Copies of this chain bind each other. A is one copy, B any other.
Amino acid sequence: MRFEAITIKDIATALGLSTSTVSRALRDSHEISVETKNLVRAYAEEHNYRPNPIALSLKEKRSRSIGVVVCEIANSFFSQIINGIESIAYDRGYNVIISQSHESYKREVIDLNYLASRSIDGLLISVSMETTNFDHLKSLHDKGLPIVFFDRVVDEIDTHKVIIDNSTGAYNATVHLIENGFKRIANINISEHSFIAQGRLSGYKKALQDHNVPIDEKLIRYCEHGGQDYAELEREMDALFAQKKKPDAVFAGSDTMTMGILRYLKSRKMKIPEEIALVGFSNSENADLLQPALTVIKQPAFEMGKKATELLLKVIEAKRPDNDFEKFVLPSELVVRESSEKK
């Protein structure tokens, strides 16, 4: 069972012309007479002719498709980014091939091999939390594959990057907690190696210092799997509360972790924000409906996807290599709700 479309050859045969003439007529070449052009166009229109993109790809050595690798599409932040990516890509006639790493390095390597073998023209990627070795990306980049990083970027590879101002986002959230009277603010972060965690940690620490709140390293914890693994999150939280001097607020470093921590606190019957306040990064549309309504740091995910795609297409469509790469930093927004109410 196959789906057969009309080809340029069919038109040529039907009209008693050569394929070259038909091709040129459709591309409005000056070498073709007006009558022939009209004839061909009318026939093509009538039979709903569409050039075969695969044949074009083969000839032009470009597939007009871009690969996207994220950890999880069932995560508001990333699905909003993908919406941004698609909004640009479709307008520009590009195809988007999405794959998920599920935060696994192994899966990321497989995805990349797959995408490379599908001859994508460029790659948009937010690396998995497990990824500490970047050879798979370097090798593709060295071979000339245009890459743009977003959110979780790789500093060692020189290309465009689009990131959130993690440091300022974390700073604002922490300051907000301090100003609301919280003193022992824990920071549960994603994988320590990650670029993101480092930025968020620095903002957190700076906020404490600026407000003369002592930094307690025991209040800083990491989840290698970024909350995907609830058991891991539970272990870290247990450890946090096993200490003598317990935290009075938690600042969570990712969407999944924010929800996981909320689940943890509720399961332990802790009152939020009376016993413990909670602020976290989250792009959930429904943070206001939670119990309690959650104070979140919201990221401009859609814009991030748009910007990254624009940059990628610029590289793909550049005539000559341009090594003048940019790093775009987008601001985040603190949305204050019940979970961080004044003590």
A residues at B contact (CB < 8 Å): 1-5, 50, 52-55, 57-58, 61-63, 73-74, 76, 79-80, 82-83, 86, 90, 95-100, 114, 116-119, 121, 140, 143-146, 259, 262-263, 266, 284-286, 288-293, 315-316, 318, 320-321
Specify which of B76, B95, B321 is in contact with A1 (CB 8 Å cutoff). Answer: B321
For the complex formed by this chain, how many copies does it contain in all? 2
- Determine if B97 and A96 form an interchain contact, defined as CB atoms under 8 angstroms apart: yes
Specify which of B62, B121, B144, B259 is in contact with A285 (CB 8 Å cutoff). Answer: B259
Residues of B near A318 (CB, < 8 A) are 1
Q: How far is the CB of A81 from chain B (nearest CB, A)?
A: 10
Specify which of B2, B53, B57 is in contact with A117 (CB 8 Å cutoff). Answer: B53
Residues of B near A53 (CB, < 8 A) are 117-119
Residues of B near A55 (CB, < 8 A) are 58
Bound-state CA distance A86–B290 (Å) is: 31
- Determine if B144 and A50 form an interchain contact, defined as CB atoms under 8 angstroms apart: no
A289 and B316 in contact, given A90-B114, A99-B86, A145-B3 (Cβ under 8 angstroms): no
Specify which of B3, B97, B146, B320 is in contact with A97 (CB 8 Å cutoff). Answer: B97
Specify which of B74, B90, B95, B291 is in contact with A76 (CB 8 Å cutoff). Answer: B74
A79-B79, A95-B97, A284-B286 known; 5 other A-B pairs, CB under 8 Å?
A: A4-B61, A54-B57, A96-B98, A259-B286, A262-B289
- Determine if A50 and B288 form an interchain contact, defined as CB atoms under 8 angstroms apart: no
Residues of B near A3 (CB, < 8 A) are 119, 121, 140, 143-146
Specify which of B2, B96, B98, B289 is in contact with A290 (CB 8 Å cutoff). Answer: B289
Residues of B near A52 (CB, < 8 A) are 58, 119
Bound-state CA distance A215–B80 (Å) is: 41
Specify which of B74, B140, B259, B320 is in contact with A289 (CB 8 Å cutoff). Answer: B259
Residues of B near A321 (CB, < 8 A) are 1
- Determine if B86 and A5 form an interchain contact, defined as CB atoms under 8 angstroms apart: no
- Determine if B263 and A50 form an interchain contact, defined as CB atoms under 8 angstroms apart: no
Residues of B near A146 (CB, < 8 A) are 1, 3
Residues of B near A116 (CB, < 8 A) are 50
- Determine if A79 and B90 form an interchain contact, defined as CB atoms under 8 angstroms apart: no
Bound-state CA distance A8–B262 (Å) is: 56
Residues of B near A5 (CB, < 8 A) are 119, 143
- Determine if A83 and B90 form an interchain contact, defined as CB atoms under 8 angstroms apart: no
Which of chain B's residues has its CB closest to A111's CB? B90
Which of chain B's residues has its CB closest to A63's CB? B54
Residues of B near A61 (CB, < 8 A) are 2, 4
Q: How far is the CB of A104 from chain B (nearest CB, A)?
A: 13
Bound-state CA distance A293–B2 (Å) is: 49
Bound-state CA distance A318–B76 (Å) is: 37
A289 and B263 in contact, given A53-B119, A79-B73 (Cβ under 8 angstroms): yes
Most chain B CB inside 10 Å of its own CB: which residue of A1, A90, A100: A1
Return 23 A-B CB contacts under 8 Å, by A number.
A1-B316, A1-B320, A2-B62, A3-B119, A3-B121, A3-B140, A3-B146, A4-B144, A52-B119, A53-B118, A54-B54, A54-B58, A54-B119, A58-B58, A74-B79, A74-B83, A79-B79, A90-B114, A98-B98, A262-B289, A263-B288, A291-B291, A291-B293
Which of chain B's residues has its CB closest to A259's CB? B286
A289 and B291 in contact, given A53-B119, A86-B100 (Cβ under 8 angstroms): yes
